[in-house]
Structure 1
């Protein structure tokens, strides 16, 4: 068994568990000010949510310390990642710099959130298990997607649905954490993007283009799956992730990004495409380094088993959520609905914090702050772009 830092070993106290309430979902629409500069839009975002952004940074800094990653290491990775963004996507670097200034933070401190996946590579003992994604084709050949987002509840007391217009005139809606440039999202060209963390032996703590920055540029610039693949291939990351994209033309692919290579895994017969937290590409899978062997393969099998039955029915969001929530064979629960074990340290507790469904051709994203088994009775936020 790995030895965790003392600050991470203590399980959540009763008071901590009481404070772990449902994540609050905020919204901001920057499209009306799209004629303004990237600096003015970033400043408007920062002024509106200064306290939330600063809290997000503070929570991540404390989290990294609790799992044994020093502030010096965090700053070094953050600085390298910012330089990589500045070279690869300068417009985003301007946004990050302006946002940091607006909320009164050093750039490296804000980058601790932007590059949190890259920072975590410095701690190989920390289990990172996020998200199950399904892209399903209906009889009209139009694609719908749905995914869960699993993470540590204490790090995300609030999250954001952000709308903005890119330099190329594409409108974007993305669900993300405060301070991060993007995560799951959809754009006005009819492209949807889903997000699953991966782990490869080539991952390193030297810093590179953050995977959340790659997601942002794809949403800002790509109008088709092929264009998304091209954008992803141009980045040199230091961490691995699967960015599953689907478009209004009926195409879908999982862009498996790693420092070793970037490869597109295409949808199989019937148009359906599923991804969890291990590589599917045969070459990249040779460098598989997941610490999540006990669940990622089971979750992928669950997706394949529950969605083949509805692939001809053109499932809408509620039907897709119901599929995700179906119990596994021989179980009373779905393996994709994660419930935290409060007897464990908070840094080892995982919970399904968000379920997001998208219809790229309809340019609609539906967000529920919870697991898919609560979708039917929950408050759904619908976003059109």
Structure 2
């Protein structure tokens, strides 16, 4: 079962304190697992507390309420706030450590110019060590709006949706300019967009202003006035790039840049070309389908092409347990309704289940 937690507090510091108190053990576990991950992959000496402090400074400038929420979470969990700053910046720290980090997530959106009901699905692939370290967090705000996000314990957000017609899917990217410093965490940028934005232009402007030090694609899905749209915002230290759907509304994103000029500095295809295989496979499976359903997309993602090109990722039992990847969740977003479903595990676990529903 997917854990769902709904905050009862709407003031940021109090909300964070409540979350920290309820989930203290899992927050401590997450911090220790990330510390172990950083130590395992580090290619240079590092000071985790200092990196976390740098991240907190960036968060305070960009989204002061989220800084207060993280501080409250640290108080509630009785943990050094710099360590929570560090795990919120886990993507940025991994880039700064020059970790040989592969990406595996795959996103598919089909927007509709004549309907607010876009289809939006992603696989979230990450280290299998963290398979029990995530939840769906429902976040009511003082103004009555709600943010819902799939995230890790101690991290303020990731993929998600709000009740104002905005959703977001997440794909890690890698660029040769990544890791020069610790910039704004992309997870914080995503959460703050969901908390504050009510239309696609607001969302794109906010993300374009994010001064990041590590690359990610945030695919924004928006619904309004009986229509829907999608834009992948490719964040990297040189500024944002934007990728739009094809004529049928289909937008596929895996883990390489699709926009210029950032694509010229993309390190992913050279190191892990399976991102190209996955993008090609999804595109060929779904192009020309006039009206997709979430089930059809999940069916297209139900593919296990060995160690490369796997859209549904499982640990290899022949390899050591530590450091392996798995599809931790399959996430379906409905921006028109402001809801999401986070299905534990990969598409192969859910095709028959959804078909029977």
**TM, length-normalised to structure 1:** 0.85
Aligned equivalents of 1:116 and 1:226: distance in 2? 28
Q: 1:126 to 1:347 in 2, by over 3 A?
A: farther
Q: What's 2:234 paired with?
A: 256
Kindly state the Cα deviation for residue 346 of structure 1 after the two structures are TM-superposed: 4.0
Q: What's 1:33 paired with?
A: 9
Residue of structure 1 aligned with 2:252, choices 274, 283, 303:
274
Query: Any idea what the Cα deviations from partners look like across 1:221-243, whole Å, max 9, x if unmatched?
Result: 11122211111011111111000
Kindly state the Cα deviation for residue 106 of structure 1 after the two structures are TM-superposed: 0.7
Query: Any idea what the Cα deviations from partners look like across 1:214-263, whole Å, max 9, x if unmatched?
Result: 01111111112221111101111111100001111311100111111112
Aligned equivalents of 2:71 and 2:168: distance in 1? 25
Q: What RMSD in Å do the two structures reach over aligned CA positions? A: 2.5
Aligned equivalents of 2:31 and 2:45: distance in 1? 12
Q: What's 2:61 paired with?
A: 87
Aligned equivalents of 1:47 and 1:379: distance in 2? 35
SS of residue in 2 equivalent to 1:342: coil
Alignment of 1:219-238 (within 5 A): 219-238=194-213
Q: 1:71 to 1:187 in 2, by over 3 A?
A: farther
Residue of structure 1 aligned with 2:16, choices 10, 24, 42:
42
Q: 1:167 to 1:346 in 2, by over 3 A?
A: farther
Q: What's 2:264 paired with?
A: 286
Q: What's 2:277 paired with?
A: 298
Residue of structure 2 aligned with 1:105, choices 62, 66, 79:
79
- Residue 244 (str. 1) matches residue 219 (str. 2): yes
Q: What's 1:184 paired with?
A: 159
Alignment of 1:89-168 (within 5 A): 89-137=63-111, 140-141=114-115, 142-166=117-141
Count matched residues: 351
Q: What's 1:14 paired with?
A: none
Kindly state the Cα deviation for residue 362 of structure 1 after the two structures are TM-superposed: 2.4
Alignment of 1:297-316 (within 5 A): 297-310=276-289, 312-315=290-293
Aligned equivalents of 2:91 and 2:171: distance in 1? 11
Greater alpha carbon shift after TM alignment, 206-215 vs 257-266? 257-266
Q: 1:76 to 1:347 in 2, by over 3 A?
A: farther
Aligned equivalents of 2:343 and 2:208: distance in 1? 31
SS of residue in 2 equivalent to 1:229: helix
Uncovered stretches (5+) of structure 2, i.e. residues with no partner: none
Aligned equivalents of 1:63 and 1:28: distance in 2? 26
Q: What's 2:296 paired with?
A: 319
Query: Any idea what the Cα deviations from partners look like across 1:247-292, whole Å, max 9, x if unmatched?
Result: 1131110011111111222222111111111111021111112264
Query: Any idea what the Cα deviations from partners look like across 1:333-354, whole Å, max 9, x if unmatched?
Result: 9721112223334454111111
Alignment of 1:12-27 (within 5 A): 25-27=2-4
Kindly state the Cα deviation for residue 192 of structure 1 after the two structures are TM-superposed: 1.1
SS of residue in 2 equivalent to 1:251: strand
Q: Residues 166 and 221 of structure 1 are in contact (CA less than 8 Å); yes or no, is this contact kept in structure 2? A: no
Q: 1:286 to 1:166 in 2, by over 3 A?
A: farther
Query: Any idea what the Cα deviations from partners look like across 1:162-194, whole Å, max 9, x if unmatched?
Result: 011346543110000111110110100121100
